[in-house]
Amino acid sequence: MASPTSGSIFLNFDRGTLLLRCSEGEFPESVLAHLKGVEWDPRVRNYRAPAWRYRDLVLALHTRGIPFKDNARQFAPTEFSLQKPITPRSFQQEALEAWLPEKHGVISLPTGAGKTILALLLIAKTQRPTLIHVPTLDLMRQWQEVLESHLGMTVGLIGGGQHEVRDITVTTYDSALIHVSQLGNRFGMLVFDECHHLPGEQYQFSALGSLAPFRLGLTATPERGDGRESVLWELVGPLCYEAHIDELQGNTLAPYRIETIPVKLSAKEQVEYQRFRECYTGFLRRERIPLNKPNGWQIFLWKCNQSAEGREAFQAYLTQKRLAQAATGKIDWVWTLLRRHVGDRILIFTQDNDMAYHLGRRFFLPVLTHHTKLPERQALLNAFRNGSYPVLVTSKVLNEGVDVPEANVGLIVSGSGSVREHVQRLGRLLRGRPGKQAVLYELVSQNTGEQSINKRRRQHRAYERSGALPGA
Amino acid sequence: MLTKDLVRYRVHKQRIHPQFVDPNSPELLAFAASLLALFAGASGQTRTSLQGQVNDVIAVFPDNVTIARGLEKLLFDRTEFDEDASGDHLAFRKKVFTASGPKLAGELPEHPEAYRREIAAALGATPEALEAQLYQDLPAHHPVLSFKPLSPAGLLHRYNCAQVQGLLIRCAKLDLEFPESEPARLRQLLKSLRFHQLLARIFRTAEGTTLVQVDGPLSLFVQTQKYGFNLANFFPALLHQPDWTLRAEVQVRKSETHQLELDNSCGIRSHYRPFLAYVPEALQLLQQGVAAKLPEWTLQSVTDFLALEGEQYCFPDFLLKHQSGAQVPLELFHGWHTGPLKARLTQLENCPEPPLLLGIARTLLKDVELKGLLEASDYFQSYGFLFRDTPSVERLRPVLECWLGLQTSEELPLFRL
């Protein structure tokens, strides 16, 4: 760093931003012209930049030989060494080589392809205090275990009642958001696991408010329905490496097949379904509500609150949805598939908690939802892994990240139209094991709205080989 | 606080108008009273049971159901449920799964009923009883532990306040105007801003109106909602001002900004406790001590804010006036002021002239980083002192002498950590 002299610049970190002071008060225009993202803040009579601009700012100052004193950065290179050498797989090596030159960017790999190990290798190479962001408490613990076992050091945790900041710290996105204004200058590297969450309305501030120059995004599904991937590319770096499920299948990932099972509603369910569906769609028609438009759903909810007829339509909407998602035929199919896969490790996915607990009560199965407290959650996952409980029902908490390599059969009893959710659910089953063959069943109620939902979520190359739903 | 779907507003010509309820409406007061009666008598009832009764009351509510759901949400926010009432459920579930696990790993009968009967028999129960008990500890079954009561009118005011808060969460910029305000009230307001970690720019017009622009540091670059919660939580403090105007830029829909304008005529009552010009007894003792032991000085509450470099303002606690005419503000930092003190030290290091004295509670030294900052701070070494519970005259005297240039900081061991 250039040593400060008269007229030099002082960089300070201020609650997620950088304050730039000039020792002589006024900032020369010639210097400002080179500093992207810096603006005059009349509130504090200083120049200010969002913290994530730190890397560009420092590089610009260095390159032009402009002297500055860096009071912002509160970290230094730190040595991390692996307890045992790790030999990366060929695609991991390619990903390493793609990320290392710029030390920022997003790597997209399917679930089970070893993203945590890849991050570990990159942390060891980068040698900077690192903050790892994860979406759930389960993942936070999982990362902590892997990092501690490979690096032989204590890893800090922020989230779930823990607040211990160390050179390597794992945090949830929620907790990072709370603390970024204080911790944004303590880490030189940020890792964003399941980084498709980052462009969310709030979460992006974890990246905006930190000055860490080195950034790694990891995901199996960088695509977002709202097109905000651009925020990800800007704050973390561009997509620098990508491998797909079908490319790694049979080698790193277990071979798999997807089977869609059409389920008939009972005669009584069919009659009820039609009645409530017509009530709901009739209301949409009468009120001319364009559900296919971006704000269609908001208009529907708003109109529903305006009249008794609207409230009735909303109840009808919920009922027809429940009838399709929780058809009795599906319950029968669950039993059939449990019988078919005796000896396998089965994950059952549902769209909502009600259905998950209904199945749990019906077949005396362990259910894992956001209501499950951490100790029980860990006990259930351990029992599933060691085979004591061969079946686990879940709504959404296992959609992402949690490592259950033993699972080889998945049953989607109900789900949304989200491609990402579906790919993530499939990903739960694909972690490679010798001789493992994974199968994912989708139960879809015939002649209901579920058919089009099923069609929507299959728009991914991982599904291209599997057959379309008859009648869809 | 209300969720977005429960906030009621109208948009007209770029202006956004929260839809307040009339807190004097007999119908609404009666409805609020009936809801409150349910919650007040709900102790021991499960969430499902309480929810069922609330639904029955709401079903006959003649007005917009969003109002009813909003009031319900505010009442549930004041209700504490016993989440630990589950007791032995974990052990019970473990027993059930230990029985069902091996069965699921072996041959299963064609019909699930046979399997269910077998598991239940092994545990000495019927399948139906087992089914009913298995997830009995879910939140729906949690009993009500306590409810923080309030009056029907208080609930309606709380609802109106929550309507504004629901909009301010989505606000990136807030301008406040106080044509006239008692210094003590304004002081509390500015303290509240600091408490909520908001950044403000303050002006005084020639006519004596105070203008306050509030937002967060990042709002210079992005339309951030990160400070929205802080702004929303700050709003009830504003309601204690007698005369105010609020202008906010609110973004309730993507890429559309609307203007929210409100003033004290909205009539919303604050649910925050006013603490105005309250002077704790210990600080009264300091005043008496100064009068007795430092007769050349007088100590009084500060009635104005102090412009600083950096954050631009602060509101010291006291002003000390010397008989020579010299005067110096004193700002106190208590055990919960770690963040503000760190920020203040940074600002003061850059000040060409010392603008104020610092009194710092010893408990703050537990923070290792802060202790290091104080040790390294020339400013603190010269113009600061530590206190245990309350500042004492003995600690204050040498700092004042230093201020008057009678001694140098090196000769003042009291400042050393």
**pLDDT tens sequence across A85-132:** 999 999 999 999 999 999 999 999 988 788 999 999 999 999 999 999
CB nearest to B104's CB, from A45, A205, A391: A391
Q: By the 8 A CB rule, do A359 and A365 touch?
A: yes
Nearest to residue A211, comparing CAs of A18, A1, A9, A10?
A18
Neighbours of B148 (CB within 10 A): 10
Question: Where does B90-163 show beta strands of DSSP type E?
Answer: 144-147
Is the model's pLDDT at A429 over the cut of 50? yes
Average pLDDT, chain A: 86
Instruction: Say which residues have a Cβ less than 8 Å from residue A29's Cβ, sequence separation at least 6.
Output: none
What superfamily would CATH give domain A90-243?
P-loop containing nucleotide triphosphate hydrolases (3.40.50.300)
DSSP letter for B368, please: H
Sheet holding A214-219, edge to edge: A162-164, A156-159, A168-172, A130-134, A189-193, A214-219, A104-108, A239-242
pLDDT digits (tens, 9 = 90+) for A20-31: 887 655 667 777
Instruction: Say which residues have a Cβ less than 8 Å from residue A400's Cβ, sequence separation at least 6.
Output: A135, A136, A139, A194, A424
B318 in helix, strand or coil? strand
Is the model's pLDDT at A338 over the cut of 90? yes
Burial label, B314 (beta-carbon count in 10 A; 0-12, 13-18, 19+): buried
Q: What is the mean pLDDT of each run of 10 residues along chain B (417 residues)?
A: 90 92 94 94 90 87 86 96 76 94 92 95 94 90 92 96 92 83 71 70 75 71 67 89 90 81 92 63 78 88 64 72 86 74 78 84 84 87 87 88 60 27
A164 beta partners: A157
The dihedrals phi and psi of A220, each to the nearest 5 degrees, come to -100, -20
Q: Please report residues of B whose CB lies closer than 8 A to that of A367.
A: 135
CB nearest to A16's CB, from B112, B130, B217: B217
Helix A296-304, helix A267-286: angle, nearest 10 = 100
DSSP letter for A38, please: -
Instruction: Say which residues have a Cβ less than 8 Å from residue A445's Cβ, sequence separation at least 6.
Output: A262, A263, A264, A265, A323, A324, A325, A327, A329, A330, A451
Q: Do residue A338 and residue B108 have CB atoms under 8 angstroms apart?
A: yes
DSSP secondary structure, B273-315, as one string: PP-TT---HHHHHHHHHHHHH-TTEEEEE--S-EE-STT-EE-
pLDDT digits (tens, 9 = 90+) for A276-289: 999 999 999 999 98
Instruction: Say which residues have a Cβ less than 8 Å from residue A91's Cβ, sequence separation at least 6.
Output: A109, A113, A243, A248, A252
Cα–Cα distance, B6 to B10 (Å, whole number)? 13
Band of residue A253 on the pLDDT scale cut at 50, 70, 90: confident
From chain B residues 61-90, the ones with a CB under 8 A of any chain A CB are: 64-66, 90
pLDDT at B169: 86
The residue type at B201 = R
Residue environment code for A202-223, b if the CB has 16+ CB neighbours within 10 A, otherwise e: ebbbbbbbbbbbbbbbbbbbbe
Neighbours of B369 (CB within 10 A): 10
Cα–Cα distance, B9 to B19 (Å, whole number)? 5
* Residues forming CATH 3.40.50.300 domain(s) in chain A: 90-243, 256-264+327-463
Q: Please report residues of A whose CB lies closer than 8 A to that of B106.
A: 342
A189 beta partners: A130, A214
CATH number for the segment(s) A256-264+327-463 = 3.40.50.300
A159 in helix, strand or coil? strand
Q: By the 8 A CB rule, do A131 and A190 touch?
A: yes
- CA distances to A137, A367, A379, A430 from A397, in Å: 10, 10, 15, 17
CB nearest to A41's CB, from B64, B100, B220: B220
ipTM: 0.73
CATH architecture of the region A9-70: 3-Layer(aba) Sandwich (3.40)
Q: Do residue B135 and residue A367 have CB atoms under 8 angstroms apart?
A: yes
Q: What is the CA radius of gyration of chain A?
A: 26
Cα–Cα distance, A195 to A198 (Å, whole number)? 5
- CA distances to B100, B228, B373 from B117, in Å: 11, 55, 69
Q: Provide the token pair at B69.
A: 């759901």
Q: Do residue B309 and residue A15 have CB atoms under 8 angstroms apart?
A: no
